């Protein structure tokens, strides 16, 4: 790969009108294409519902990924189930595509007894071991050094797997961006770094975030390829991730992908983007919606139509709404989980604390 060229050029396969560059088309099977589209549509519907729940005071916090669905779904689709994902907090599409149930994601946002983190993480900070999805953490950039460590360990064990991790454009200013890329490059670790350049780091625009012409070119200093990709083009995201994965498994080390996209919502439910996002800029990016673009492509292939689309959206809404109804009947996590869900084997000091708590509540000894 020629990093000097690829870090500036923009890889694009699928045009906004749904036409495709046949020379770059990864030629995916219909089943995979429809699975990717289903995940993208479902994420958009899930986002809308959960943000509404936050506005109603039924959950406490939420982060939407509107406009960035192609980034998470396209990259996840290029992996195998055995690969590891160390996400940031705007990749729900990766969780859905890798098989995480909607009801489990909703449970985490409620922090109820179904929540596998027992209410100890902020909403939208998912963690699912069965899908090789490491817990999301709020500190900016920490996931990059975690992914580098995972990949370094796999390389030493001879595992034919890769680690994929994400960061926003603002996160590239963190110390951990440097540490993660430097360690991975020196070790030739099989890791794919994805920078979702969505235009904003909360209210700080990209032009005030870096003096570099692109984020992809930052890879050159670390000795790895940097590839700039149309992040609203799910086929381009898939191809770039697949190529980076093949490179990693060949022992050639990490790759940095800059996915150029746009955040079509607030940074979080605590943010009001109307105070700083120019309306004309948002309108321009709405016309580049990754879901609408992919839909046109599927229709042109003859495997999708308006009736199927309406049915999919109705089905996804029903599934999301049922997950919400089910979760709202679930109680809070049991108090005992504060003690039993900390160590694999509960130490005696913690057991005594638990028994004192149970005694204060008039309950018997813990079995």
Q: What is the pLDDT of residues 200-249, one digit of tens each?
A: 999 999 999 999 999 999 999 999 999 999 999 999 999 999 999 999 99
Kindly state the tokens that stand for 1.
Answer: 């790969």
Q: Which residue has the higher pLDDT, 367 or 74?
A: 74
Write down the pLDDT at residue 6.
53
Kindly state the tokens that stand for 101.
Answer: 């149930």
Q: Of the listed 110, 267, 293, 297, which one is catalytic?
A: 267
Q: Span 176-191, mean pLDDT?
A: 98
Q: How confident is the model at residue 177 (pLDDT cuts 50, 70, 90)?
A: very high
Distance CA 2, CA 39 (A): 33
Q: Span 115-119, mean pLDDT?
A: 94
Write down the pLDDT at residue 24.
96
Q: Which residue has the higher pLDDT, 58 or 338?
A: 58
Average per-residue pLDDT for the chain: 95
The b/e string for 62-98 (b: 16+ C-beta within 10 A; e otherwise) is bbbbbbbbbbbbbbbbbbeeebbbbbbbbbbbbbbbb
Q: Span 326-355, mean pLDDT?
A: 92
Note whether 215 and 285 are within 8 A (CB): no
Q: What is the DSSP letter of 163?
A: E
Q: Span 160-179, mean pLDDT?
A: 97
Q: Span 240-266, mean pLDDT?
A: 98
Q: Of the listed 98, 245, 263, 293, which one is catalytic?
A: 263
Domains in the chain, CATH or no CATH each: 3-333 (3.40.50.970), 334-367 (no CATH)
Question: In what helix (H) or strand (E) does residue 44 lie, and over which residues does it extend?
Answer: helix 30-55
Write down the pLDDT at residue 4.
39
Write down the pLDDT at residue 367.
64
- Residue 230 dihedral angles phi and psi, to the nearest 5°: -70, 105
Write down the pLDDT at residue 7.
61
Q: How confident is the model at residue 335 (pLDDT cuts 50, 70, 90)?
A: confident
Decide if 222 is catalytic: no
Decide if 38 is catalytic: no
Q: Of the listed 276, 325, 332, 356, which one is catalytic?
A: 276
Q: Which residue has the higher pLDDT, 25 or 5?
A: 25
For the chain, percent of residues with pLDDT exceeding 90? 90
> Is 250 buried (19+), middle (13-18) or exposed (0-12) by CB count in 10 A?
exposed
Enumerate residues 6+ apart whose C-beta is below 8 A from 361: none
Asked whether residue 117 carries a pLDDT value surpassing 80, the answer given is: yes
Q: Any idea which residue has 């959960």 for tokens? A: 50
Write down the pLDDT at residue 342.
85
Decide if 263 is catalytic: yes
Asked whether residue 157 carries a pLDDT value surpassing 90, the answer given is: yes
For the chain, percent of residues with pLDDT exceeding 70? 97
Predicted confidence (pLDDT) per residue in 12-34, tens digit: 999 999 999 999 999 999 999 99
Asked whether residue 2 carries a pLDDT value surpassing 90, the answer given is: no
Distance CA 269, CA 61 (A): 6
Asked whether residue 5 carries a pLDDT value surpassing 80, the answer given is: no
Q: Span 306-330, mean pLDDT?
A: 98
CA angle 88, 72, 65 (to 5 degrees): 70
How far apart, in Å, are the Cα atoms of 11 and each of 20, 214, 240, 262, 292? 12, 13, 8, 16, 19
């Amino acid at each position: 790969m020629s990093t000097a060229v690829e870090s500036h050029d923009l890889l694009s396969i699928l045009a906004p009108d749904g036409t495709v560059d046949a020379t770059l088309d990864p030629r995916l099977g219909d089943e995979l294409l429809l699975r990717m589209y289903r995940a993208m549509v479902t994420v958009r519907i899930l986002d809308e519902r959960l943000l509404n729940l936050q506005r109603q005071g039924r959950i406490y916090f939420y982060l939407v990924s509107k406009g960035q669905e192609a980034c998470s779904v396209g990259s996840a689709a290029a992996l195998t189930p055995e690969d590891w994902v160390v996400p940031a907090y705007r990749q729900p599409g990766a969780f859905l595509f890798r098989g995480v149930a909607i009801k489990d994601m909703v449970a985490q946002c409620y922090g109820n007894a179904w929540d596998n983190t027992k209410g100890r993480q902020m909403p939208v900070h998912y963690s699912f071991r069965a899908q090789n999805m490491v817990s999301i953490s709020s500190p900016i950039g920490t996931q990059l050094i975690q992914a580098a460590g995972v990949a370094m360990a796999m390389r030493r064990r001879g595992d034919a797997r890769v680690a994929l991790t994400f960061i926003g454009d603002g996160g590239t200013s963190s110390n951990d961006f440097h540490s993660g890329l430097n360690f991975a490059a020196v070790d030739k670790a099989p890791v794919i770094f994805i920078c979702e350049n969505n235009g904003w780091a909360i209210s700080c625009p990209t032009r005030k975030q870096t003096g570099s012409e692109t984020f992809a070119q930052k890879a050159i200093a670390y000795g790895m390829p940097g590839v700039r990709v149309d992040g609203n083009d799910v086929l381009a995201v898939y191809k770039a991730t697949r190529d980076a994965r093949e490179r990693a498994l060949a022992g050639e080390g990490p790759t940095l992908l800059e996915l150029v996209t746009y955040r079509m919502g607030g940074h979080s439910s605590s943010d009001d983007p109307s105070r700083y996002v120019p309306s004309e800029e948002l309108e321009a990016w709405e016309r580049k919606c990754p879901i609408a673009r992919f839909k046109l492509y599927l229709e042109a292939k003859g495997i999708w139509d308006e009736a199927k689309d309406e049915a999919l959206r109705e089905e996804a809404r029903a599934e999301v709404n049922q997950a919400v109804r089910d979760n709202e009947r679930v109680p809070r996590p049991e108090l005992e989980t504060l003690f039993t869900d900390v160590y694999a084997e509960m130490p005696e000091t913690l057991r005594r604390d638990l028994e004192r708590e149970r005694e204060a509540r008039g309950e018997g000894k813990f079995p």
